[in-house]
A and B are shown apart, each in its own frame.
Chain A
Amino acid sequence: MINTFVGNFGHLSTLIAFVSALVTAFAYSQYFKANELDKPSWRRFSRVSFYVHAVATVMIAGSLFEIIYHQRYEYFYAFSHSSKALPVHYMISSFWEGQEGAFILWAFWNVVLGLLLVHTNKFWEAPVMVVFALVQAFLISMILGVVVGDLKIGSSPFILLRDATQAPIFEVNPDFVPEDGTGLNPLLQNIWMVIHPPTLFLGYASTLVPFAFLIAGIVTKRYAEWIRPALPWAIFSAMILGMGIIMGAYWAYVTLNFGGYWNWDPVENAVYVPWLILVASIHTMITFKKSATALKTSIVLVILSFILVLYATFLVRSGVLGDASVHSFTDLGLSGQLLIYMLFFMAVAIFLAVRAWKHIPSSPNEASTYSREFWIFLGAITLSLMAFQVIVPTSIPAWNALVESFGGISNMAPPAVQVEFYTKSQLWFAILIALLTAVGQFFWWQKMDKKALKDALLVPYIVAMLLAAAIIVVTKVYEWKYILIVLSGVFTIVANSVILVKLLKKSTFKLAGGSLAHIGLGMILIGIMFSSGYSDVISLNMSGLTYSNSWEDEMNKEHVLLWINKPTQMKDYTVIYRGRQKKVEGVPEYVPANLLASTGKVNQAVALEDYQTYFKKGDTLQLVLEENDYFKIDYFQNEKLQFSLSPMSQFNEGMGGLISSPDSKIYLDRDLYTYVAAMNDFSDPEWKEDETYEVTPGQQFHIADFVTYFDGVEVLKELEGYTLKEGDIALKAKIRVLDYDVEKILEPTFIVSDNQVGKLPVEDADLGLKISLENILPEQNKFVFKVNQYQKDYVVMKAIVKPYINVLWIGTLLMLLGFSVAIYRRFDEFVKMRDKGVE
């Protein structure tokens, strides 16, 4: 039965949310303009209107989740983003896999932030909420799904499958409900994908808060006062967005196969750029609070960070990137709407800022070289240029689209080797930033002149140089660019640690945010340099065999072919591929796949043998996603097993083939990162021609290159699945096949019943063998076996050592901690001022 209620309810909520957003915007603007007498009633009305909007937005999210949770595959969204086999916690990921869900998530966070602002602000409520409500109207319009004439506004997540597709089955049976969905992209079936998108979207959403305060400040002619309430939110936004970026990087590292955490893909760049600008704006805002300079710069940067988030959304979700990005977001035909959304706020912000420009106070004196303003300003400029260097090439596809929309032809493509391209510029900016953070902090906390600066910097400088020299020598960093990174990174760590200690001695922890974040930055820089700059592919093909004797052999083969059970040398390790495994509910370790047989039901298998204490032969077991294969790879050193890794791959028909995920061995000072790039395809084996062997019991012979023993035959009294009658004969032959250190016992059965011969062949997928007992020659005491061969199981693997990657992760945690401390301090300031009645 098709359930149309939830969808209609969701769609209705969408309409209510859209209309109430517009009403809220109007009501708050009236509240803002109204005289003191009318204000209370307008305020009440505005708030009620916003609450209605909030409830409606939550209802939209609730309806969509209901559709996914109750597996209502009559809805297109559930059908295309979810499946029966999906565990509940991944249904949450299904929610935001589609673009509509992502917009709902974004709108939801805006509502949460809006409610917080309504209840923490007095003076600012009205103008800030006008901006909020307008943004909400634009966001909700993305999922409106309303058609006016030829114009389609938004793409609704509540459309039924029969309306979304033209499948012929709906002509026969309009009430057809598919049994199962096409599933969630396996790459998103990861715990980081459950928490990364909400974090990122909270980051996106929160850039609206400083922007809204800024607009409110300009409109109310409080050109400078908006900074105090905006600042804690700007820091919050930078922290959350930064956290979202890091989570995304970590997710890429643990699930994607590109061999790292950052790829300079347009989608990554699109979040990195607004983050840089946001960080720059925080710095200028803090400067302004201390010394009444850099107000104009702050205004420009806050506007820019908000617009860049919209631009990022436009780039990523409009389809304009086309084949420039490996991330596939589909074009829902929203590009026009997204463009209008961005241009609207850009136009409003620029118009208001330009109109107010001459009224905005600016400091008449130029900052001295020994003032903190000067150094912070340099830092903000560097961050902005850093962002500029990334956004220009990232925008090439958008540029092409622009040229083509005016009838021109542009065949520019993004840089071919993007990682090298971006790294070689970003590296210099990063070194500069590290130096500025080291020096800048001293200016920040002390009045400086030439001599004071020398005194303050001398000790940290010497300590940093000694420490850096030690690191360089011990870890053998001989590349001069990398040496510079170590020097500047260590310098900022040492300098900021000195400040940190001084601050902690003198005053409270509340002031330590900046130095903590900067120490984190130094560690991030050093961690990136080591883990990326000295990442070492150890799976170089070392077999020494040349296959084609041509130029191809001179290219570095970064993958290694591992036949099952065959030891292969890989730098310091000997590795052996041991076969496929599955994840079984209730069993902490992976279970060899050949102990399990499918029952035909989703995620269910029956045990073919006992397995330790966990299950017995014949037990029915629940698999955790049956399509996941975990390839067991043993690592030996000096003949001793050190550890096993199990990189994963998933074959998903509905989703488009194979998707693999890496597995890493994590040490304190390095990660060994491995993934499977190609594997044997069992689904449709091409068996080679029949071979027959006539052997006597006890004889040794060869099947392909396997040493094989025929140990003899056994007469069976019982045979599973058969009832043996009087006079029937069942024989089981025992064949032992040796493959390196593994001995496989294969037992084909031969049955004679009512003068009919039955053969039960056995198949071994690992070795790629199928053996049946064909005939018995009693006179010669010989048994005839028919053997078919396929291919032995294999994987093609890549293994990379990433040194000191933990320094990077620890650095990011420190930076986030620094941000948190700063948020606390700045919000505290705002609350104190508000309660004094200042704002």
Chain B
Amino acid sequence: MKKGHVIGLGVIAIAIVIIMSSIGEASSYENFATALEMKQNGEDKAIHVVGKLKKDTSGEVQGIEVREDKTSFTFLLVDTEGTEQKVFYNQPVPADFQRSEQVVVIGSYRDKEIFVADKILMKCPSKYQETTVTAGNL
């Protein structure tokens, strides 16, 4: 076999390994029901859950409990299926957390009660979509 062929085969092999490992280590989008099911089946992989913060009728965010040392907190997240779940995050409350329209938590269930987020991604109301040019700008 020529050296060129060896290299070629090597490249193809590495490329396949790269694709397989990307798929293998890719996370997935779940809802709280499927995430809990995964946990109970012993899968500890971190997954993504998309949801919204729980709000009362006047739009106030409910259920944020900041720990006494202010370095961690829990909150209530409602996923796209409407399931409400208490989520723990081992970081201070992100600055514009309450304003976020959508929250993606990346993490897994610790036990049945609580979901531990390793990372939070927030989608905040973009100023581009702002249709309110109010007297505040006068």
Q: Which of A414-422, A722-730, A826-834 contacts B (4 or more CB under 8 A)?
A: A414-422
List residues of chain A with CB within 8 A of the CB of B82: none
| Shortest CB distance A76–B (Å) | 9
List residues of chain A with CB within 8 A of the CB of B133: 79, 161, 165, 167, 169-170, 176, 178
B127 at the A/B interface (Cβ < 8 Å)?
yes
Determine whether the beta carbon of A561 is less than 8 Å from that of B69: yes
Contact indicator per residue, chain B 125-138, by CB within 8 Å of chain A (1) or not (0): 11111111110011
Determine whether the beta carbon of B104 is less than 8 Å from that of A412: no
Contact indicator per residue, chain B 105-138, by CB within 8 Å of chain A (1) or not (0): 0110010000000110101111111111110011
B99 at the A/B interface (Cβ < 8 Å)?
yes
Q: Among residues 632 to 685 in chain A, which have CB atoms less than 8 Å away from a CB atom of chain B?
A: 649, 654-660, 677-678
List residues of chain A with CB within 8 A of the CB of B40: none
Determine whether the beta carbon of A796 is less than 8 Å from that of B130: no
Determine whether the beta carbon of A551 is less than 8 Å from that of B96: no
A764 at the A/B interface (Cβ < 8 Å)?
no
- Complex CA distance for A551 and B114, rounded to whole angstroms: 11
Which residue of A is nearest B31, CB measured?
A411
A613 at the A/B interface (Cβ < 8 Å)?
no
Contact indicator per residue, chain A 733-771, by CB within 8 Å of chain B (1) or not (0): 000000000000000000000000000000000000000
A389 at the A/B interface (Cβ < 8 Å)?
yes
List residues of chain B with CB within 8 A of the CB of A555: 72, 90
| Shortest CB distance B43–A (Å) | 13
* B70, B71, B99 pick with most chain A CB within 10 angstroms: B71
A541 at the A/B interface (Cβ < 8 Å)?
yes
Determine whether the beta carbon of B48 is less than 8 Å from that of A416: yes
A589 at the A/B interface (Cβ < 8 Å)?
no
Determine whether the beta carbon of B18 is less than 8 Å from that of A388: yes
A552 at the A/B interface (Cβ < 8 Å)?
yes
Contacts A656-B96, A656-B99, A677-B91 given; does A547 touch B68 at CB 8 Å: yes
Contacts A541-B71, A547-B68, A658-B96 given; does A328 touch B88 at CB 8 Å: no
A154 at the A/B interface (Cβ < 8 Å)?
no
| Shortest CB distance A269–B (Å) | 12
Determine whether the beta carbon of B27 is less than 8 Å from that of A413: yes
Which residue of A is nearest B73, CB measured?
A678
Determine whether the beta carbon of B72 is less than 8 Å from that of A557: yes
- Complex CA distance for A555 and B118, rounded to whole angstroms: 11
A612 at the A/B interface (Cβ < 8 Å)?
no
Contact indicator per residue, chain B 33-59, by CB within 8 Å of chain A (1) or not (0): 000000000000111101000000000
Determine whether the beta carbon of A559 is less than 8 Å from that of B30: no
Which residue of A is nearest B68, CB measured?
A547
A423 at the A/B interface (Cβ < 8 Å)?
no
Which residue of B is nearest A555, CB measured?
B90
Determine whether the beta carbon of A660 is less than 8 Å from that of B95: yes
| Shortest CB distance B101–A (Å) | 10
| Shortest CB distance A553–B (Å) | 10
- Complex CA distance for A396 and B3, rounded to whole angstroms: 34
A775 at the A/B interface (Cβ < 8 Å)?
no
List residues of chain B with CB within 8 A of the CB of A543: 69
Determine whether the beta carbon of B28 is less than 8 Å from that of A548: no
A572 at the A/B interface (Cβ < 8 Å)?
no
Determine whether the beta carbon of A541 is less than 8 Å from that of B70: no
Contacts A381-B7, A388-B15, A415-B26 given; does A548 touch B67 at CB 8 Å: yes
List residues of chain A with CB within 8 A of the CB of B81: none
Determine whether the beta carbon of A323 is less than 8 Å from that of B102: yes
List residues of chain A with CB within 8 A of the CB of B47: 413, 416
| Shortest CB distance A440–B (Å) | 15
| Shortest CB distance B8–A (Å) | 10
- Complex CA distance for A26 and B24, rounded to whole angstroms: 49
Contact among B4, B22, B102, B110 for A392, CB-based, below 8 A? B22
| Shortest CB distance B65–A (Å) | 10
List residues of chain B with CB within 8 A of the CB of A794: 70
Determine whether the beta carbon of B14 is less than 8 Å from that of A385: yes
- Complex CA distance for A389 and B130, rounded to whole angstroms: 39
| Shortest CB distance A234–B (Å) | 23
Determine whether the beta carbon of B27 is less than 8 Å from that of A414: yes
Determine whether the beta carbon of A366 is less than 8 Å from that of B130: no
List residues of chain A with CB within 8 A of the CB of B93: 678
List residues of chain A with CB within 8 A of the CB of B91: 558-559, 677
List residues of chain A with CB within 8 A of the CB of B22: 389, 392-393, 396, 415
List residues of chain B with CB within 8 A of the CB of A411: 28-30
B92 at the A/B interface (Cβ < 8 Å)?
yes
Determine whether the beta carbon of A413 is less than 8 Å from that of B48: yes
List residues of chain A with CB within 8 A of the CB of B90: 552, 555-558
- Complex CA distance for A580 and B112, rounded to whole angstroms: 43
A598 at the A/B interface (Cβ < 8 Å)?
no
| Shortest CB distance A782–B (Å) | 37
Determine whether the beta carbon of A392 is less than 8 Å from that of B121: no
Contacts A165-B130, A169-B133, A416-B106 given; does A393 touch B26 at CB 8 Å: yes
A166 at the A/B interface (Cβ < 8 Å)?
yes
Determine whether the beta carbon of A415 is less than 8 Å from that of B25: yes
Contact among A73, A330, A381, A389 for B18, CB-based, below 8 A? A389
Contacts A389-B18, A413-B47, A541-B71 given; does A330 touch B29 at CB 8 Å: no
Determine whether the beta carbon of B50 is less than 8 Å from that of A328: no
Determine whether the beta carbon of A178 is less than 8 Å from that of B95: no
- Complex CA distance for A288 and B68, rounded to whole angstroms: 66
List residues of chain B with CB within 8 A of the CB of A169: 133-134
List residues of chain A with CB within 8 A of the CB of B19: 392
Determine whether the beta carbon of A656 is less than 8 Å from that of B130: no
List residues of chain A with CB within 8 A of the CB of B26: 393, 396, 412-415
Contacts A411-B28, A660-B95, A678-B93 given; does A552 touch B88 at CB 8 Å: yes
- Complex CA distance for A543 and B11, rounded to whole angstroms: 53
Binding site for A on B (CB under 8 A): 2-4, 7, 11, 14-15, 18-19, 21-23, 25-30, 45-48, 50, 67-72, 88, 90-93, 95-96, 99, 102, 104, 106-107, 110, 118-119, 121, 123-134, 137-138
20 inter-chain pairs at a CB distance below 8 angstroms, sorted by A residue, are A161-B133, A167-B131, A178-B137, A323-B50, A323-B104, A326-B121, A366-B2, A388-B18, A389-B22, A392-B19, A393-B22, A413-B27, A413-B28, A415-B22, A416-B118, A421-B25, A425-B21, A552-B88, A560-B71, A654-B127
**Besides the contacts A169-B134, A178-B137, A415-B25, what 17 more A-B pairs have beta carbons closer than 8 Å?**
A73-B137, A80-B127, A330-B128, A385-B18, A389-B18, A413-B29, A414-B26, A416-B118, A421-B25, A425-B18, A548-B67, A551-B110, A677-B92, A678-B70, A678-B92, A678-B93, A796-B71
Q: Which 6 A-B pairs have the closest CB atoms?
A: A658-B95, A657-B96, A416-B46, A678-B92, A167-B133, A178-B137
